[in-house]
Amino acid sequence: MVTPLRALIDKVDERLGDGVEHLLCAHHQRRLRALGWSEVFSPGTQGGFSERAPVRSGNRIEVLVDGEEALAGMQAAIEQADSHVHIANWHASPDFRLTRSPGARPLRELLASTAERVDVRLLLWAGPPVPLFQPSRQLVRDAREEFTRGTKVRCVLDARERTLHCHHEKILVIDDSTAFVGGLDFTALQGDRHDSNAHPADRPIGWHDVVVKVQGPIVADVAEHFRRRWTEVAGEDLPAPRVSAPAGPSRAQLLRTVPDKTYDFAPRGDFTVLDGYLRALRSARRLVYLENQFLWSPEIADVLIDKLCDPPEDRFRLVLLLPRKPSNGADTTRGQLGRLLDADDGNHRLLATTISAHDGEQSAPVYVHAKVAIVDDEWMTIGSANLNEHSLFNDTEVNIATDDAELIRATRLRLWAEHLQRPADEVAGDPIDVVDHLWRPTAREQADREAQDLPRTHRLTLLPGVSRRSGRLQGPLRGLLVDG
């Protein structure tokens, strides 16, 4: 029973949350309008590809799911480099091993040996100016010293971050012919990246992540982004990357967040990650599937709420896969989830889930670090950008988007088979039927077992906990204070 006092608190909480988010959204609109990006917020802009970045045809895109597969692929590419290896990471640890195979070399040794025959450049965020969180500037300086001492590796630290923000992108470019873009850094800081699709329960925490390996003309765009950052920060003028010949059937687009007033090459910023997301979500007709570390951007939430309140068709579904406990922003994510649940209003168009690892009596959380969006099996983006104000406005981020329907559907089926623990052919039917008859019953059953203190029997469950509306003010208030 809801008491009058509780009802009053909830009403005040709702009004406070709405007010702060209104201020934040208005601030972002003023900022982007002044920078010449006002069309991003226009409701009429639809279709996933941004008009602010070129779309490249003739690419081969391979989706690598979870660290065991992705890291091994990146190590193989580094070892086979003929000209150069360019890495941009949030952080990289010299003692990190890209595989757990016997005799696997630490990253320092891998890069040092590679640098004996090709150029190796490593661009890392310099860390926060105030040691409030990791990686501290001292930790990053120590890493640079370790990478470069007695080696030919060039490691440069980029301190051009906006206040309380960072360089968050994770890219690897090999010879201007192959690039990897995704969510994996070369470090075990804040979590173990070496997880497999099986997500075994014999570790403190699992880690779900996704990376794309691209070949073809799109690689030059990734390489050029690295070149421009490196040139400004390191003072070394690298040659323009060569454009690869067509390598596959996929169209692709590089989406970025580059804050304004950070680099001379983009003085007015680049907000194509936000533009691509908003265009694609506005155009959604039947299915939006999001895997992300965070979901507390009011701009993204507002579009999703509109879809739930006024669905394009009755069978429209929104499926979320989020971590149970994000490293930060947990309350803000839960607050946005509360808004989405209110908008769904019991119509069962929204399903918010999370995953964990189970093996008999043994269990462990699985941290959802992937940044994947799929809309109607017609548009997909994978990269480093979270759905929060940091990634969409203030951190440097890199994503790849594609409209290759065959690749997108295959990726969705692979991810759904992993999370539902079923063969791909069992999740290959109409996606709305799969959501209603496999995703929802499975997640509900496991949530009920948890509520009854019974052991879980499946990886998937409903995302627990919805905070008060004011609980999501952490992100917006930080945005208003430091997003000048």
The residue written with tokens 């992108």 in the block is 169
Range of weakest confidence among 86-90, 327-331, 335-339, 435-439: 327-331
Cα dihedral value 97, 103, 109, 110, nearest 10:
-70
Share of the chain above pLDDT 90, in %: 80
Grouping H, G, I as helix, E, B as strand and the rest as coil, residue 65 is strand
- pLDDT tens for each residue of 311-368: 999 999 999 999 988 765 454 565 688 889 989 999 999 999 999 998 878 888 899 9
Give the integer Cα–Cα distance in Å for 196 and 400: 23
As given in the structure block, the two tokens for residue 314 are 């009755």
437-450: average pLDDT: 97
Domain boundaries, the chain: 29-53+253-482, 59-248
Q: What is the pLDDT of residue 370?
A: 98
As given in the structure block, the two tokens for residue 324 are 């149970």
68-88: average pLDDT: 98
- pLDDT tens for each residue of 31-65: 999 999 999 999 988 888 999 999 999 999 999 99
Range of weakest confidence among 80-94, 277-291, 332-346: 332-346
- Same CATH topology for 29-53+253-482 and 59-248: the answer is yes
For 59-248, CATH number?
A: 3.30.870.10
CA separation, residue 230 to residues 124, 224, 412 (Å): 10, 10, 35
As given in the structure block, the two tokens for residue 407 are 């690749």
DSSP class of residue 392? I
Q: What is the pLDDT of residue 102?
A: 92
The pLDDT of residue 470 is above 50: no
For 29-53+253-482, CATH number?
A: 3.30.870.10
Residue 68's CB is within 10 A of a number of other CB atoms, namely: 18
Q: What is the pLDDT of residue 359?
A: 84
Give the integer Cα–Cα distance in Å for 158 and 153: 16
Q: What is the pLDDT of residue 153?
A: 98
Give the integer Cα–Cα distance in Å for 323 and 300: 18
298 touches 334 (CB < 8 A): no
- pLDDT tens for each residue of 394-428: 999 999 999 999 999 999 999 999 999 999 999 99
As given in the structure block, the two tokens for residue 161 are 């971050």
Nearest 5°: the CA angle 390, 392, 398 is 100
Give the integer Cα–Cα distance in Å for 205 and 463: 17
184 touches 209 (CB < 8 A): yes
Backbone angles phi, psi at 444, to 5 degrees: -65, -45
236-261: average pLDDT: 97
135-158: average pLDDT: 97
Task: Band the pLDDT of 13: cuts 50, 70, 90.
Answer: low
Question: Which residues lie closer than 8 Å to 160 by C-beta, 6 or more apart?
Answer: 167, 232, 233, 262, 263
As given in the structure block, the two tokens for residue 392 are 């969409």
Concatenated DSSP letters of 318-377: EEEE--SS-SS-HHHHHHHHHHHHHHHTTSS-EEEEEEEEEETTEEEEEEE---EEEETT
The pLDDT of residue 11 is above 80: no
Give the integer Cα–Cα distance in Å for 196 and 209: 10
- pLDDT tens for each residue of 267-283: 999 999 999 999 999 99
Q: What is the pLDDT of residue 334?
A: 57
- pLDDT tens for each residue of 163-186: 889 999 999 999 999 999 999 999
Q: What is the pLDDT of residue 1?
A: 54
The pLDDT of residue 469 is above 70: no
Contacts 24+ apart (CB under 8 A), 70-76: 70/180, 70/182, 70/184, 70/209, 70/210, 70/211, 71/98, 71/99, 71/184, 71/193, 71/194, 72/98, 72/99, 73/180, 73/211, 73/213, 74/98, 74/172, 74/180, 74/184, 74/211, 75/99, 75/110
